[in-house]
Amino acid sequence: MWVDIKQLPSYDTANPAVYPARDAWVTRVATMMPGVTAGGALSPTIQIGPAPGEVRVQVQWQQPGEPQTRQMVILNRIHEGDGV
């Protein structure tokens, strides 16, 4: 996202449009997490906003044999001129 900042809104997983960079990331992460499938209830999500440049990434998983879901949420802000 840092190097593709002009397309930041396209990374939002609530956006139904196909966006290959986002979709490949979601699929790759989903296949590595236990109890997760891409497009399923525990599929990773990316939310853009509400503040300008705000990015919230949520990764969930369910360990084998455990009833509870675990999650990690990362909040970051990406702005023009950052990183590149």
Give residue limits of the domains in the chain: 2-77
Burial of 48 (C-beta count, 10 Å sphere; 0-12/13-18/19+): buried
Whether 27 shows a pLDDT value over 50: the answer reads yes
The number of helix segments (H) and strand segments (E) in the chain equals 1, 3
Whether 84 shows a pLDDT value over 70: the answer reads no
Whether 81 shows a pLDDT value over 80: the answer reads no
Please tell me the predicted confidence (pLDDT) of residue 83.
52
Burial of 62 (C-beta count, 10 Å sphere; 0-12/13-18/19+): middle
